Structure 1
Amino acid sequence: MPISFDTTGFRQLGQHTWQHASGDQAELTYYNLVPDLPAGLDDLPKLRHDLALIHGESGCLIEAHVVQLAGVPALLRIVKMPLPNQPNGQMFLCSFTVPKANCSAVLQLGAVERGTTGLREAMLMAEIGFDQWVKPHPYAPELQGVLPFHAGDDPRHDSRFPDHPLSRVRAWAHHVVRTARLDPQFASLPPFQVQAPPPVAPGQTLVTALPSLPVKDFVGLQIGEQTTYWRMTDPKLKEMLGRGLMGRSPLAETRFRDMLMIDVESGEAMIPDRFTTNGNMTAHGTHLVQVTLPEADAQLSDDDVKEAFAWAGRMAAVAAERGEYLSLEPVENQGEQANPHVLLAVQQHEGQPVVIAQFSPPPTEGPLAGSPSRSAPATPESVEGIGLIAGMAVNEWRSHPLRMAITYRRPAG
């Protein structure tokens, strides 16, 4: 494992998951991808600002720091989120991300409020006063997030409420910083660095393009009413697609799609970051080569197509962390939701995460015939599996996967 930590008090549930006697659950994940951090660890103000905006969509970033794990820089985050499908209560997540140039490892602990919730906040609000309770976010003062940044989350109060989940994850964080170890081979990998985007060349004309599902090295781009097809020459676009990091084009009030800017003649493209820092937009450069759909299709195998739909399932899990879900639909579908489409979501059901695919219209052929939806307990395998099931429904539409796109959906309100 890239990261090892003191498991005293934990029992192992799976190869990379542990549960503490308190009920808190730890998980270790390795990502064989360029990290999707919005900034490098050497630019902490931008990193904090952009992470505050990202986490503000589903909760609130309480704090973020660059720490050392066994002498290697790591990002420490503590985040709070409302408990899904419950009228009150919160979940607190503490994570350590060790980013490398082409991969990363994340160690995370989740702690949930149980029983009577909000006691810490109620007691402290009575002492501090309502007028002094909610504060501008220190990393992004303009932010109006799902949960407020307030005085009750200050670490000075942890000693009075040692059993509160926020106090527990902070205590665990301090212990991990002191005791965690890194695999020497992983620790020696080149560090993560954000590449500066190249300037727009004179004479370039950039137009907005909405990307399709990426399949192997290919992607469709909806430019106006026309769909064109392109080969990606580097991994940057595929690394950012579907993760909520790119600039967005609104399709309707609660529907959004990734967008980029491309010069169709040269294939030079700019991938804008979704969030600005101090009002300044940043972007990443990439180069695409235009192809025809038959040329792309000739280089795709069945396994490439399966991996594309498994990727869509994984992106549904990533979206759930932002309080969103996905619609898998034809790339030309714009405006309000229309058939055909598959909704992919990870939601809480009776305290456990469940992955769901809802088909509209229900398939009429094959093993899914007549089924309006499929669901399963959320695991890494079932998250990918639900994407594959969505691909089975898409197959009935006789639509090429490069003509499909994922659209972000936010629950109304």
Structure 2
Amino acid sequence: MTLRSLVNALLGRMQEEPSAVPAQQVAVASRLSQQFELPAQWVLQQENERIAIFRNEVGDVLTVNYFMAVPDIEASIDDVDALRAFYRRTAEANGLALIETELAQLTTLRAVRTLFKARMNQIRGFALIGAYTLPFADRSYVIKVESMEQGVTGMREAVVMALMGPPQIHEATGELIGWGQDPYDPSHRAEFMRNQADDQKFDAQFPDHPLSKVRRYLVELESSVQADSSIRGLQPFSYPAQGH
């Protein structure tokens, strides 16, 4: 998996969908969708050998992405601080805001759980992107869920800001003091960051917000997804990876 491929998987399906074919045209032996047992709400739409695309009844998207290449994750799968630094660099280099990077397990498989926010170019609002990355010695899988803001946007931010009281504004930059913040390093600054309204404690107040939904999807995946025995038997990823 190259870093570019990882970012493409996290950002969306723009480069993947044109080559995807209807599910019924994919040979059973090569069907990516059968390698993971997913929660029932996700219905297969189309797939090829690299990506399987699912939707649920509210229109949110889940993809299973397969990369037949040595992962280029620049950290040990057990070093959460190094992983956070790696995914922070990756996110910021591609215009994303890091909300979360944590160690996780899908059944018996070690994984990295990530959550990002992306600006949408054509409409005002954000897309929320959650993923489990499953790296192995010579390949990797990314299970990604995505939900986009639609209709009236910014309500979550407006309500949380009102709860905080009148904001303080930095005279030199015009930024709201204390509004944007890195989830792990209070001293870190970037052009586009997680903000206080993204805190998980507000999810219950805004259950239909894309961020709240993506967090629920990630919890459901971690507790219920099952991987095929052929995947469970793969050699685990170690850093530094061979050939990198």
Instruction: State the TM-score, normalized to the length of structure 1.
Output: 0.45
Match of 2:162? 126
Q: 2:227 aligns with which of 166, 170, 182?
A: 182
Q: 1:45 aligns with which of 67, 74, 81?
A: 81
Alignment of 1:46-61 (within 5 A): 46-57=82-93, 58-61=95-98
Alignment of 1:130-209 (within 5 A): 130-131=167-168, 133-141=178-186, 143-195=188-240
Residue 98, structure 1, aligned to residue 134, structure 2: yes
| 1:45 alignment partner AA | D
Residues 75 and 240 of structure 2 are in contact (CA less than 8 Å); yes or no, is this contact kept in structure 1?
Answer: no
- For 1:142 and 1:81, the matched residues in 2 are separated by 22
Alignment of 1:235-250 (within 5 A): 235-236=243-244
Alignment of 1:70-89 (within 5 A): 70-86=107-123, 88-89=124-125
Match of 1:245? none
1:248-272, CA deviations, whole angstroms, 9 ceiling, x for partnerless residues? Answer: xxxxxxxxxxxxxxxxxxxxxxxxx
Q: CA deviation at 1:109?
A: 0.7
Residues 65 and 75 of structure 1 are in contact (CA less than 8 Å); yes or no, is this contact kept in structure 2?
Answer: yes
Residue 28, structure 1, aligned to residue 61, structure 2: no
> How many residue pairs were aligned?
197
| 1:123 alignment partner AA | V
- For 1:114 and 1:145, the matched residues in 2 are separated by 26
Residues 3 and 105 of structure 1 are in contact (CA less than 8 Å); yes or no, is this contact kept in structure 2?
Answer: no
Instruction: State the TM-score, normalized to the length of structure 2.
Output: 0.75
- For 1:142 and 1:119, the matched residues in 2 are separated by 27
1:73-105, CA deviations, whole angstroms, 9 ceiling, x for partnerless residues? Answer: 11111100100243x200000111111011111
Looking at both structures, which has the greater relative contact order when contacts are Cα pairs under 8 Å and sequence separation is at least 6? 2
- For 2:186 and 2:178, the matched residues in 1 are separated by 15
For the aligned residues, what is the CA RMSD? 1.9
Q: 1:65 aligns with which of 98, 102, 106?
A: 102
| 1:40 alignment partner AA | S
Q: CA deviation at 1:33?
A: 0.7
- For 2:73 and 2:184, the matched residues in 1 are separated by 16
Higher-Rg member (1/2): 1
- For 1:50 and 1:12, the matched residues in 2 are separated by 32
1:148-174, CA deviations, whole angstroms, 9 ceiling, x for partnerless residues? Answer: 221111111101100000000000111
- For 1:182 and 1:145, the matched residues in 2 are separated by 37
- Identity level (%): 27
Secondary structure in structure 2 of the residue aligned to 1:160: coil
- For 2:213 and 2:222, the matched residues in 1 are separated by 14
Q: CA deviation at 1:144?
A: 3.4
Residues 111 and 166 of structure 1 are in contact (CA less than 8 Å); yes or no, is this contact kept in structure 2?
Answer: yes
Give structure 2 stretches of 5+ with no counterpart: 1-31, 169-176
Q: CA deviation at 1:48?
A: 0.3
